[in-house]
A and B are shown apart, each in its own frame.
Chain A
Amino acid sequence: MSGQIVVSGLTKMFGPVRAVHNLSFTVAPGTVTGFLGPNGAGKTTTLRCLLGLVTPTAGTATIGGLRYVDLPQPSSTVGAVLEASSFHPARSARNHLRVICTVNGYPASRADAVLDQVGLLTVADRKVRGYSTGMRQRLGLAAALLGDPGVLVLDEPANGLDPEGIAWLRAFLRRLAADGRTVLISSHVLSEVEQTVDDIVIIDKGALVRQGNLGDLASQQGSTVVVRTPDPDRLVSALGRYDHRPGIRRRDGAVMVDGLQPAEIGHLAFLEGIELHELTTERSDLEDIFFALTGEGADR
């Protein structure tokens, strides 16, 4: 499989800090996959391992079956945009790209072609020092596209983009994916990528939380029941004893229950003699799923 990304048993220790812990997931060729997790979850570290910049403590990360260092033509196989803005401030965008063209033996005209693609052609000769965050993100994207790679790895590409920039990026990535490219895009905000991705991989504290098709996950996760009661503590402890171990969170004094039907909760409350003031179903949006899965905002 040419564009398949396979991360297998990946572990990375930075001294005592366990940034990635026995992480395994795959990214199918021709899909856009969102790589999600809260700050410090290990997304950047995982992507840097995949790109041969960080040496894993254990495990492997391969692209089309090969480690990045073993790829015969890395820049024509994988294009990467990493979080750090990695440009010499005194070098122009065009010259930055020309350096990469020279190394890879691409014609210098490729630099102008990708600058045009990301909309930077008119400012190509300005020093990067004077670029805004959004322009740097575009330049990073331009660099990734130089070799016309089939696989794109983007670390938080929406960071620092204004809403217009995010819309542009979304359309841009969709176009790339429509060409049949494999796109792996990290973010700590699900809503940023939910309109772009087919699949998601969610990690937390360096470990895999969930991988799958976004639509499937959303329907599996189902809906949330909002319960209001004068005695939420008793309700929570009663629900805690329930066989199915439902997901329980609290929000604005309400108890939010995942994985149970309103009727089941009502019945339980009746048996326990708990007074209920509200029992409604709320279709959980994706952000809630993300929170529920990564444990953020959970009542623990």
Chain B
Amino acid sequence: MMTRLLRAEFTKLFTTKLWLWLLLGAIGMTGLFVGLTIGLADSAGNPSPPLNTPEGQRNLFGVAGATSALAIVLGIIAMTGEFRHETVTPTFLATPRRGLVVTAKVIAYAIVGVGFGAVGILAELALALPWLAAKGVAVSLTGNGIPRTLIGVLLGLAVNTVLGVGIGALIRNQVAAIVGTLVYFFVIESLISALPTIRDYYKFFPGGASSGLANTYQPNVEFLAGWQSGLLLISYGVAFAALGTALTIRRDVT
């Protein structure tokens, strides 16, 4: 039963072009961040740690995690699209046990999030490794905590995509859900991470937990340990998904 529901979710995803656009967006965004990180590394006054330090390299290879906003949007569109186009009606007619439907979506999009992250990581490696070699910076992908950063990126994107599915189940209006979420991440969380005193709590917010998970560096901001960030982020994902599921089960589809 669950296998069929998962396969159906993948069929839904791959029979429209959305995934392609978001993936291209993620590759472009990752490329841009890699370019900025390496390109500006030697400029004066750059507060980021230099590229030949472990921190610098973790930061560089953690940039694929910066596409988490796109991952959330992907999750939101996956869920709200069902309401927007009313495909939720055939979906629930085929599977009237709605809890199963939302659970399948959550699992499917966790997998999609990992795939999303994997492509981002491949893109950043393809760009960064030759570039660093040309600059004479030695990199070891197995050292300097980089494996943990990469796993953190994958896990972070998986959880963020699930978070998007949960948000979409709670706020069924697609535009409202996307705009609200982007405003939250780019305005509210940016403010939280920038304001003195308040920024000490940034580590407890979803964005801060994502950064902590990838073990990246941000000046003046402290993150929780990787495993704590991971657990916290997963808790956010599970909480939103559970809340979204509960509401989706109860709400009328008219």
State whether A84 and B89 are in contact (beta carbons under 8 Å apart), knowing that A68-B96, A103-B95 are contacts in the complex.
yes
Would you call B92 and A53 a contact (CB within 8 A)?
yes
Chain A residues contacting B4 (CB-CB under 8 Å) are: 102-105
Contacts A48-B254, A90-B16, A95-B11 given; does A100 touch B87 at CB 8 Å: no
* Contact status A80-B93, CB under 8 Å: yes
Give A234 Cβ to nearest chain B Cβ, in Å: 49
Q: Flag if B86 contacts A84 (CB, 8 Å).
A: yes
Chain B proximity mask over A67-91: 1 for CB below 8 Å, otherwise 0: 0110100110000101011111111
List residues of A whose CB falls within 8 A of some B CB.
Answer: 14, 44-45, 48, 51-55, 68-69, 71, 74-75, 80, 82, 84-92, 95-96, 98-100, 102-105, 143
Residues of A contacting B11 in the complex (Cβ-Cβ under 8 angstroms): 95, 98-99, 102
6 extra interface residue pairs, beta carbon distance < 8 Å, beyond A53-B92, A89-B85: A71-B96, A87-B87, A88-B12, A91-B12, A103-B5, A103-B94
Contact B94 A90 (CB under 8 A): no
B89 CB to closest chain A CB, in angstroms? Answer: 4
- Show 11 residue pairs from A and B whose CB-CB distance is below 8 angstroms, ordered by the A residue: A51-B93, A51-B96, A54-B252, A54-B253, A86-B88, A87-B85, A88-B81, A91-B15, A92-B15, A99-B11, A100-B8
- Chain B interface mostly helix, strand, loop or mixed? helix
The complex places the Cα of A90 from the Cα of B97 at a distance, in Å, of 26
- Residues in A with CB closer than 8 Å to B16 are 88, 90-91
B96 close to A69 (CB less than 8 A) = yes
Q: Which residues of A contact B135 (CB under 8 A)?
A: none
Query: Shortest beta-carbon distance, B144 to chain A, in Å?
Result: 44
Among B8, B85, B96, B253, contact of A88 (Cβ-Cβ < 8 Å): B85
Q: B9-28, CB under 8 A of A: which get 1 and which 0?
A: 00110011110000000000
Number of interface residues of B (CB under 8 A): 28
Mark interface residues in B50-91 (1 if CB within 8 Å of A CB, else 0): 000000000000000000000000000000010001111111
- Please pick, from A74, A95, A98, the residue contacting B94 in the complex, using a CB distance under 8 A: A74
Question: What residue of chain A has the Cβ atom nearest to residue B90's Cβ?
Answer: A86
Q: Which residue of B lies closest to A71 (CB)?
A: B96
When distances are taken between beta carbons in the complex, the residues of chain A under 8 Å from B252 are 14, 48, 53-55
State which of A68, A86, A99, A143 has its C-beta within 8 Å of the C-beta of B12.
Answer: A99
A102 to chain B: which residues have CB within 8 Å? Answer: 4, 7-8, 11
Residues of B within 8 A of A103 (CB): 4-5, 8, 91, 94-95
A143 to B86 Cα, complex, angstroms: 14
Closest Cβ neighbor of B88 among chain A residues: A86
Query: B89 touches which one: A68, A86, A89, A105 (CB < 8 A)?
Result: A86
Contacts of B89 in A (CB 8 A): 53, 82, 84, 86
CA distance A90 to B14 in the complex (A): 11
- How far is it, in angstroms, between the C-alpha of A53 and the C-alpha of B95 when the chains are bound? 11
Considering the complex, give the chain B residue whose CB is closest to the CB of A98: B11
Report the bound CA distance from A45 to B254 in whole Å: 8
CA distance A92 to B17 in the complex (A): 12
Does A48 contact B97, Cβ atoms closer than 8 Å? no
A187 vs B253: C-alpha distance when bound (angstroms): 20
Q: Which residues of B contact A91 (CB under 8 A)?
A: 12, 15-16
A90 to B17, CA, bound (A): 8
Given A45-B254, A48-B253, decide whether A86 and B15 contact each other with a Cβ distance below 8 A: no
Top 3 nearest A-B pairs (CB, nearest first) are: A95-B15, A86-B86, A53-B253
| Residues in B neighbouring A88, C-beta threshold 8 A | 12, 15-16, 81, 85, 87
* Contacting residues, chain A, for B81 (C-beta < 8 A): 88
CA gap between A179 and B190 in the complex, in Å: 64
**With A and B bound together, what is the CA distance between A98 and B90 in angstroms?**
12
- Asked whether, in the complex, the Cβ of A86 is within 8 Å of the Cβ of B8, the reply is no
| Contact assessment for A100 and B15 in the assembled complex, using a CB-CB cutoff below 8 Å | no
B103 to chain A, nearest CB (A): 14
Return the chain B residue nearest A97 by Cβ. Answer: B90
Distance between Cα atoms of A53 and B17 in the complex (Å): 29
Chain A proximity of B44: nearest CB distance (Å): 49
User: Least Cβ distance of A72 to chain B in Å?
Assistant: 11
CA separation between A11 and B92, bound complex, in Å?
22
By beta carbon, the residue of chain B nearest A92 is B15
Bound complex: CA A89 to CA B86 (Å): 11
Is there an interface contact between A52 and B94, defined as CB atoms closer than 8 Å? no
Closest to A143 in B: B90
Contacting A at CB under 8 A, from B24-58, are none
CA–CA, A87 and B90, complex, Å: 9
Which residues of chain B have C-beta atoms less than 8 A from A48's C-beta? 252-254
From A44, A68, A85, A100, give the contact of B86 (CB < 8 A): A85
Distance of A52 from chain B, by nearest CB (Å): 4
Nearest Cβ on chain B to A151's Cβ, whole angstroms: 12
A91 to chain B, nearest CB (A): 5
